[in-house]
A and B are shown apart, each in its own frame.
Chain A
Amino acid sequence: MREDSGPRGPTGGGEVTNRPGRGSGRLRDISHLYLSSRRPPAGNAVPVRRCLRVGVISSGDALADAEVCANLAIQFAKLGRRTVVADAARALPNPGFRLGLEPHAYLAAVLAEPGFRIDRGVAGVRVLALPTAEAFGALEELLRETDAVLVRLPAAAAEALAPLAVSLAAAEITTTMQRVATHSPMFDAWLSTARRGEAAAPAARLESGRGAPRRDLLDVAIRVQRPGAAAGPRQVGRVPVRPLVWGDAVPAVAGACARVPPYRLHARLALAAVQPDHPAVRVFEGLAQALLSGLGSGLGRGGGGRADG
């Protein structure tokens, strides 16, 4: 006897009964998200969201790092994620340049001008230079409404990350609902309003985690491989540094997360901005998708942090 495996109709087994009355309160709570005339409920601050934190460790070649940063950021933006690039390396060329910022904007990261700048580059990617302590606070504010942040770090990544500890401290994903929220912005919006009470601020999360195993400030660390480059850090905190083979003739690297085929550099813009169909851009797209899907998968980020599926 064969079990019917065809598509089930609206009254088939396993259906979810639609009860219009039950979710109407929740719909009202999030109506400000899709109705422009509605304001968010007073006193219901949107909790800090869980965003993907990618570190691009300096390879000694600022152009390669900036190009990888900018291309990944554009791909995140094209996938519908609000993306921030934070530059802590202070080297030229920088991601701001590859994202099409004006000279006074992208040079601010290098010249250490007072204050901080947040500029929008190609595809709406926001770029923040991190030369001063003021910018650290700005980063914390930015991350409240960000889905993905790319931090370009110098070779001494751990030291550069230390001042960013409060900004980058992220809520741990502990429940299935939270994992699902990392995949679906709409579900995440609903979950934000459904939580009871406000989520702890990053500083409080750090404080509360004192007794617990130290949390990582990055989800993934990437380092561009290039011929003749000095060996870099093998891990940042507990997060292993993944090599990425970019362009030049680099022999196969064990554990490489991606191999970007060679391409002709545009004078000012990252490849993804000018040739979105290029095979190298497809690699960045696949990498961005893999990073985003990994955020909610519950896979551990080193140490013994592998969560249950």
Chain B
Amino acid sequence: MDDVQRLLDDVQELSCAVPLQQFVTALSAFEPPLMPEPMGLGLRFRTPGGVVFCEISVFSELFLVRVGGDTMEFRVRTVDAARAALDALVTAHVLARGAESGAAATLVPVRPEVPGGNVQPEATDGNPGGLQSRLWSSE
């Protein structure tokens, strides 16, 4: 996060410093962590898979946030605008994770196709008491 700290140090005199600091603080809280790299006027954040997640370009009184490359752009001057951009980023993160993982690729029907089908927790055989014993036992 040296690049992030360097950017924050550089912009602390600008009017967009406060929303930018909040924005970057929230970005650093993403898990798995995003990887920042410097670019022309700001930073680019990549996912652990190397995909560009978002880009920040800082100008004097505002900063631009591009989500997922060029799909969405936010012009942020205030803390509220920064939160709106973060909200879009978190949503994009969830959608991207769904697209990456096998979870989304394997579509499960909303209702089980087997009549009366009901998936129970593993190792219970439909008996919550069995699961209860496993959860609460000391081993």
The answer to whether A and B come from one shared complex is yes
SS of B interface (majority) = helix
Which A residues from 258 to 276 make CB contacts under 8 A with B?
258-259, 261-268, 275
Give the shortest distance, in Å, between A65 (CB) and chain B (any CB).
8
Q: What separation, in Å, do the CA atoms of A300 and B132 have in the docked complex?
A: 12
Q: What separation, in Å, do the CA atoms of A104 and B98 have in the docked complex?
A: 24
Give the shortest distance, in Å, between A62 (CB) and chain B (any CB).
4
Q: Is the pair B31, A265 in contact by a Cβ cutoff of 8 Å?
A: no
In the complex where A92-B30, A277-B111 touch, is A265 in contact with B94 (Cβ < 8 A)? Answer: yes
Q: Is the pair A294, B132 in contact by a Cβ cutoff of 8 Å?
A: yes
Is A97 located at the chain interface by the 8 A CB criterion?
yes
Q: Is the pair B108, A278 in contact by a Cβ cutoff of 8 Å?
A: yes
Q: Is the pair A305, B30 in contact by a Cβ cutoff of 8 Å?
A: no
Sort chain B's interface into a size bin: 35 or more
Give the shortest distance, in Å, between B47 (CB) and chain A (any CB).
12
Give the shortest distance, in Å, between B29 (CB) and chain A (any CB).
5
Which residues does chain B contribute within 8 Å of A290, judged by CB atoms? 121, 124, 128-129, 131-132, 135
Which residues does chain B contribute within 8 Å of A258, judged by CB atoms? 121-122, 131
Q: Is the pair A262, B97 in contact by a Cβ cutoff of 8 Å?
A: no
Give the shortest distance, in Å, between A59 (CB) and chain B (any CB).
9
Sort chain A's interface into a size bin: 35 or more
Which residues does chain B contribute within 8 Å of A259, judged by CB atoms? 121-122
Counting from the closest, the 9 A-B pairs by CB-CB distance are A62-B31, A247-B103, A258-B121, A259-B122, A279-B119, A299-B136, A91-B31, A103-B87, A265-B98
Interface set of B (CB-CB < 8 Å, partner A): 22, 25-26, 29-32, 80, 83-84, 86-87, 90-91, 93-95, 97-98, 101-104, 106-108, 110-112, 117-124, 128-129, 131-139
Can you report 10 A-B residue pairs in the complex whose CB atoms are below 8 A from each other?
A62-B30, A92-B29, A107-B26, A220-B135, A238-B138, A256-B123, A257-B121, A268-B94, A275-B110, A290-B135
Taking A248-B103, A287-B131 as given, write out 17 further A-B residue pairs in contact, using a Cβ cutoff of 8 Å, ordered by the A residue number.
A91-B30, A110-B29, A111-B25, A111-B26, A240-B138, A247-B102, A256-B122, A259-B121, A265-B98, A268-B94, A279-B118, A282-B118, A283-B121, A287-B121, A290-B121, A291-B132, A293-B128
